[in-house]
Amino acid sequence: SQQGEEDPQALSIQEGENATMNCSYKTSINNLQWYRQNSGRGLVHLILIRSNEREKHSGRLRVTLDTSKKSSSLLITASRAADTASYFCATAPLGAGSYQLTFGKGTKLSVIP
């Protein structure tokens, strides 16, 4: 079953604009990860944020985590056409089953050149 819910389901922006995607989840987590998927195939890991972290940066990516609200956001700055893809958040639960990532349904991002 899906734990996370990404919002919005689809997002269309112009090249150069910023894109923000949100993720909400239900249970306590050890960490939260964001992945990108092109053309419905393999997923590429983007960034991992641990439950005791509030914000993390990697290049043009900025991730925030609010464990009290059970939510996370992914910001892509200065978007490029190559950023067009589906973005998924995945949670690793607290406890023994932390390897079992639970994914949301994803946000489909379209960056128009």
Interface characters, 41-60, with another protein (x: CB under 8 A): xxxxx--x------------
34 binds another protein (CB under 8 A): no
69 binds another protein (CB under 8 A): no
Among 21, 65, 85, 106, binds another protein (CB under 8 A): 106
Dihedral (C-alpha) 71, 94, 62, 7: value to the nearest 10 degrees? -30
Q: What b-and-e string marks burial along 54-80, b requiring 16 or more CB atoms within 10 Å of the CB?
A: eebeeeebbbbbeeeebbbbbebeebe
Q: How far apart are CA 24 and CA 9, in angstroms?
A: 13
14 binds another protein (CB under 8 A): no
93 binds another protein (CB under 8 A): no
Helix, strand, or coil (residue 75): strand
Q: DSSP assignment, residue 38? A: S
The residue (of 12 and 100) whose beta carbon lies closer to another protein is 100
Residues that bind another protein (CB under 8 A): 1-2, 4, 30-31, 33, 35, 40-45, 48, 88, 90, 92, 97-106
